[in-house]
Amino acid sequence: QVQLVESGGGLVQAGGSLRLSCAASGRTYSNSAMGWFRQTPGKEREFVAAISWSGISTYYRRSVRGRFTISRDTAKNTMYLQMNSLKPDDTAVYYCAAEPSRGSELLTSGDEYGYWGQGTQVTVSS
Protein backbone atom coordinates (compact mmCIF):
# COMPACT_ATOMS: atom_id res chain seq x y z
CA GLN A 1 0.00 0.00 0.00
CA VAL A 2 1.17 3.52 -0.84
CA GLN A 3 -0.54 6.73 0.21
CA LEU A 4 0.30 9.91 -1.71
CA VAL A 5 -0.26 13.58 -0.87
CA GLU A 6 0.65 16.38 -3.27
CA SER A 7 1.49 19.95 -2.31
CA GLY A 8 3.15 23.03 -3.75
CA GLY A 9 0.61 24.12 -6.32
CA GLY A 10 -0.51 27.70 -6.69
CA LEU A 11 -0.83 30.73 -8.91
CA VAL A 12 2.25 31.96 -10.78
CA GLN A 13 2.91 34.30 -13.67
CA ALA A 14 4.18 32.99 -16.99
CA GLY A 15 7.92 32.46 -16.83
CA GLY A 16 7.82 31.72 -13.13
CA SER A 17 8.61 28.55 -11.20
CA LEU A 18 6.93 26.16 -8.80
CA ARG A 19 8.04 22.98 -7.07
CA LEU A 20 5.48 20.30 -6.46
CA SER A 21 6.00 17.70 -3.77
CA CYS A 22 4.46 14.25 -3.41
CA ALA A 23 4.79 12.85 0.09
CA ALA A 24 4.44 9.09 0.23
CA SER A 25 3.81 6.66 3.04
CA GLY A 26 3.84 2.92 2.99
CA ARG A 27 6.50 0.26 3.03
CA THR A 28 6.69 -0.18 -0.75
CA TYR A 29 7.35 3.46 -1.65
CA SER A 30 11.10 3.03 -2.11
CA ASN A 31 10.53 0.25 -4.66
CA SER A 32 7.88 2.09 -6.65
CA ALA A 33 7.95 3.55 -10.10
CA MET A 34 6.46 7.03 -9.83
CA GLY A 35 5.14 9.72 -12.09
CA TRP A 36 3.38 13.03 -12.50
CA PHE A 37 0.25 13.58 -14.56
CA ARG A 38 -1.98 16.58 -15.16
CA GLN A 39 -5.54 17.21 -16.19
CA THR A 40 -7.62 20.20 -17.23
CA PRO A 41 -11.44 20.32 -17.36
CA GLY A 42 -12.83 18.60 -20.42
CA LYS A 43 -9.54 17.00 -21.34
CA GLU A 44 -8.03 13.61 -20.69
CA ARG A 45 -5.36 13.18 -18.08
CA GLU A 46 -1.91 13.44 -19.64
CA PHE A 47 1.49 12.16 -18.69
CA VAL A 48 4.07 14.70 -17.56
CA ALA A 49 7.12 12.88 -16.16
CA ALA A 50 8.21 9.51 -14.78
CA ILE A 51 11.01 8.29 -12.54
CA SER A 52 12.25 4.83 -11.66
CA TRP A 53 12.63 3.55 -8.11
CA SER A 54 16.35 4.39 -8.08
CA GLY A 55 15.83 7.91 -9.37
CA ILE A 56 18.45 7.31 -12.05
CA SER A 57 16.03 6.95 -14.96
CA THR A 58 13.60 9.70 -15.90
CA TYR A 59 11.36 10.52 -18.85
CA TYR A 60 9.32 13.57 -19.82
CA ARG A 61 6.60 14.53 -22.24
CA ARG A 62 8.08 16.58 -25.04
CA SER A 63 6.42 19.86 -24.13
CA VAL A 64 8.07 20.03 -20.69
CA ARG A 65 11.56 18.77 -21.51
CA GLY A 66 14.19 21.28 -20.49
CA ARG A 67 11.72 23.09 -18.22
CA PHE A 68 10.58 20.44 -15.70
CA THR A 69 12.71 18.16 -13.54
CA ILE A 70 11.42 15.11 -11.70
CA SER A 71 13.35 13.80 -8.71
CA ARG A 72 12.87 11.76 -5.56
CA ASP A 73 14.35 11.65 -2.08
CA THR A 74 13.98 8.17 -0.68
CA ALA A 75 15.10 9.23 2.80
CA LYS A 76 12.23 11.73 2.91
CA ASN A 77 9.75 9.51 1.08
CA THR A 78 9.08 12.40 -1.26
CA MET A 79 9.01 12.94 -5.02
CA TYR A 80 9.34 16.37 -6.58
CA LEU A 81 8.52 18.15 -9.80
CA GLN A 82 10.51 21.33 -10.31
CA MET A 83 8.73 23.43 -12.91
CA ASN A 84 10.54 26.37 -14.50
CA SER A 85 9.64 28.74 -17.33
CA LEU A 86 5.99 27.99 -16.76
CA LYS A 87 3.48 28.70 -19.51
CA PRO A 88 -0.30 29.22 -19.38
CA ASP A 89 -0.66 25.84 -21.14
CA ASP A 90 0.84 24.22 -18.02
CA THR A 91 -2.27 25.19 -16.05
CA ALA A 92 -3.88 22.01 -14.71
CA VAL A 93 -4.46 19.87 -11.66
CA TYR A 94 -1.27 17.88 -11.14
CA TYR A 95 -1.38 14.35 -9.74
CA CYS A 96 1.38 12.08 -8.53
CA ALA A 97 1.16 8.33 -8.99
CA ALA A 98 3.02 5.27 -7.80
CA GLU A 99 3.26 1.64 -8.82
CA PRO A 100 5.21 -0.70 -6.50
CA SER A 101 5.24 -3.71 -8.80
CA ARG A 102 7.22 -2.10 -11.63
CA GLY A 103 9.84 -0.02 -9.87
CA SER A 104 12.58 -0.31 -12.46
CA GLU A 105 10.37 0.90 -15.31
CA LEU A 106 9.37 4.32 -16.60
CA LEU A 107 5.58 4.21 -16.77
CA THR A 108 3.89 6.77 -19.00
CA SER A 109 0.27 5.58 -18.99
CA GLY A 110 -2.09 6.33 -16.14
CA ASP A 111 -3.50 2.81 -16.40
CA GLU A 112 -0.13 1.43 -15.33
CA TYR A 113 -0.27 3.08 -11.91
CA GLY A 114 -2.16 1.67 -8.97
CA TYR A 115 -1.93 4.55 -6.49
CA TRP A 116 -2.79 8.23 -6.89
CA GLY A 117 -2.75 11.41 -4.87
CA GLN A 118 -5.62 13.85 -4.61
CA GLY A 119 -4.07 16.47 -6.89
CA THR A 120 -2.81 20.03 -6.56
CA GLN A 121 -3.88 22.97 -8.72
CA VAL A 122 -1.30 24.85 -10.77
CA THR A 123 -2.44 28.05 -12.47
CA VAL A 124 -0.13 30.03 -14.76
CA SER A 125 -1.33 33.51 -15.70
CA SER A 126 -0.27 35.24 -18.88
Question: How much is the mean pLDDT over the chain?
Answer: 95
What residues does 81 pair with on adjacent strands?
20, 70
CA distance 125 to 57: 32
**pLDDT grade, residue 110 (50/70/90)?**
very high
- Amino acid identity, position 54: S
* Nearest in space to 63 (alpha carbons), one of 51, 77, 46, 42: 46
* CA distance linking residue 52 with residue 74, whole number of Å: 12
pLDDT band at residue 28 under the 50/70/90 scheme: confident
For 83-94, how does the pLDDT look when each residue is reduced to its tens digit (9 = 90+)? 999 999 999 999
- pLDDT at residue number 4: 95
